[in-house]
Amino acid sequence: MISLSVIVCSIVQLASSASCPQSIPTVSVVPRCPSNEKEWISAAERKNCSALENCHTCSKDRSFVYHCVLNKNATELVEVCAPIWYMSGFCARFSMTDRRIINDDPALDCTKFVPPCLTRFPSNESFKSENVDELDELIIESKDDSKEIEKISLDTTRKDVLEEVANFVTMSGKNILCSLKNVVTIRDLREKLSEKESVPLKCLLVVDKENGVLYQDATVFEPCKKERYTLMVGNKNRTQGFKEDGNVHTDVISNKQISHGKCQMCCGHFTVPETLFDWVKDKLPGSGDVELQCPRCSDVWEEEELVEKCNMSEDEKLFLNCVLEVNEKTKKMKQ
C-alpha cells in the first residue's frame, strides 16, 4: 500500500516536471493570492487558463490550470497557467528559467511557514487543504485506479517522443511543415526551419505581417497563435549579379571600405546589399517611418530602390510592403 502511493506520487511528479514555455507569457505578479474558494474561483476565471488548453504540449492531457505560487526566489507571488501540479509538502514556486513549477527546495518547507504557505500559495485546488494530509489524499486519490496510473506513466514516456508537426505559411503563400519538438523560442523555430529548407539561418525569419514587425529570437513561441507567425525566406545569393567596377568605396551605412559586391544607390553613395538589407530590417519594422534616407546626404531611398538594391526575395518584397502599409496607417493615426 505504502509503496504504491510512493509510486503514484513520483509518477505524478514526473508527469508535471516538464518544462513548459507556454506558461511564460501567462505569468503575472500579484500582491496576494486568493485566500478562499470564492476568490480562487474568480481569479481562475479571470486568468482563463483553460482557453489555452490546446495550445501547449507540456502535458499529454493538455491540462492548463490557474496557479498562484511564489516565484523562484520566493520574493513575489505570481499567477500562472501551468499543467496541474500536485504538491508534496514543499512550497510550490514558479521558475522562469526552468519554465515550470518547482518545489525542490527543502529550505522552503511549507509546513514551517506561519500560516503554513500551503493554505496561502497552493497549487490549483489545494486552497481546500488545511494541511499536508489532505494533499496526500489528493495524490493518493488516483491510487486505486490502476488504469489512471498506467495512463500517467504511458503519457510520461510518450511525452518525450511527442512530435507535433505544424504547418507554417511563407509571405508568398508556400506551406512548410515543421516539427515543433523542443521548439521553445522563435530562434528554435528558425533553426529547425532553416535546416529543413536548407537555407542559411539569417535567411529564415519569422514575422508578424499584421503588425509589420519581426519576431525576436528570444520570444517564446506560442503554438496556439500559430496563425500569427509568417515565414520570410530571404535571398541567399543577395550579392550576386551586381556590376563590379574594381574601385574601392566607403559603405555609406557601415563606413567600411568595400571593393566588390557593392551596390550604388540613386544618390550616388555605395553600400552592400546585405548591409542595406540589415539596415532596412532594423529601421523600418515597427518604426512608423514610411521611407528611408541616405545616412550621408539624406536623399530618400524609395521602396523600389530598396527592393532592387537589397536584391530582395519575393517574401522580403511582400513583407517590406506590409511594413510600409502598417507604418503609413500609424503615421495617419498620429496626425
Ligand X SMILES: *[C@@H]1O[C@H](CO)[C@@H](O)[C@H](O)[C@H]1NC(C)=O
How many angstroms separate the most distant Cα atoms in the chain? 85
Among 26, 33, 40, 68, binds ligand X (CB under 6 A): 40
Please report whether residue 94 would count as binding ligand X according to CB under 6 A: no
- CB-wise, 26 or 311, nearer to ligand X? 311
Please report whether residue 65 would count as binding ligand X according to CB under 6 A: yes
Which residue sits closest to ligand X, CB atoms considered? 241
CA separation for the pair 267, 130 (Å, rounded): 76
Locus of grid cell 500562472: 80
Instruction: Give, as ranges, the residues between 208 and 267 that touch ligand X (CB under 6 A).
Output: 235-237, 240-242
Q: Please, what is the minimum distance in Å from the beta carbon of residue 282 to ligand X? A: 21
Instruction: Give, as ranges, the residues between 292 and 311 that touch ligand X (CB under 6 A).
Output: 311
Query: How does DSSP assign 203-269, residue by residue?
Result: GEEEEETTTTEEPPTTSBP-GGGGGG-EEEE--TTTTTTPPP----EEBTTT--EE-SS-EE-TTS-
Q: Which three cell numbers stand for residue 235?
A: 535571398
How many other C-beta atoms lie within 10 A of the C-beta of residue 200? 9
- CB-wise, 71 or 219, nearer to ligand X? 71
CA separation for the pair 65, 74 (Å, rounded): 21
Among 1, 3, 73, 106, binds ligand X (CB under 6 A): 73
- CB-wise, 67 or 269, nearer to ligand X? 67
Per CB under 6 A, which region of 15-23, 58-66, 247-255, 264-272 contacts ligand X?
Answer: 58-66
278: enclosing H helix or E strand: helix 273-283
CA separation for the pair 259, 242 (Å, rounded): 12
Q: Please, what is the minimum distance in Å from the beta carbon of residue 82 to ligand X? A: 11
CA separation for the pair 292, 297 (Å, rounded): 12
Please report whether residue 275 would count as binding ligand X according to CB under 6 A: no
Percentage helix, strand, coil for the chain under 3-state DSSP, each rounded to 5: 40, 20, 40
Please report whether residue 280 would count as binding ligand X according to CB under 6 A: no
Per CB under 6 A, which region of 70-78, 252-260, 274-282, 288-296 contacts ligand X?
Answer: 70-78
Give the interface size with ligand X as a residue count (CB under 6 A): 22
- CB-wise, 7 or 41, nearer to ligand X? 41
Instruction: Give, as ranges, the residues between 112 and 141 that touch ligand X (CB under 6 A).
Output: 124-125
Please report whether residue 12 would count as binding ligand X according to CB under 6 A: no
Please report whether residue 51 would count as binding ligand X according to CB under 6 A: yes
**CA of residue 105 relative to chain centroid, distance:** 28
- The residue among 238, 243, 219, 239 whose CA lies nearest residue 229 is 219
- CB-wise, 123 or 327, nearer to ligand X? 123
Contact 127, 40 (CB under 8 A): yes
- CB-wise, 41 or 248, nearer to ligand X? 41
- CB-wise, 51 or 300, nearer to ligand X? 51
Beta-carbon contacts of 264 under 8 Å, excluding residues fewer than 6 positions away, are: 270
Please report whether residue 198 would count as binding ligand X according to CB under 6 A: no
SS3 call for 91: coil
Please report whether residue 327 would count as binding ligand X according to CB under 6 A: no
Q: Annotate each residue in 139-178 with x if it binds ligand X (CB under 6 A) or - if it does not, as one string.
A: ----------------------------------------
Q: Which three cell numbers stand for residue 201?
A: 539561418
- The residue among 9, 13, 184, 5 whose CA lies nearest residue 92 is 13
Please report whether residue 45 would count as binding ligand X according to CB under 6 A: yes
- CB-wise, 38 or 329, nearer to ligand X? 38
**Chain positions contacting ligand X, by CB under 6 A:** 40-41, 44-45, 48, 51, 63, 65-66, 71, 73, 75, 84, 124-125, 235-237, 240-242, 311
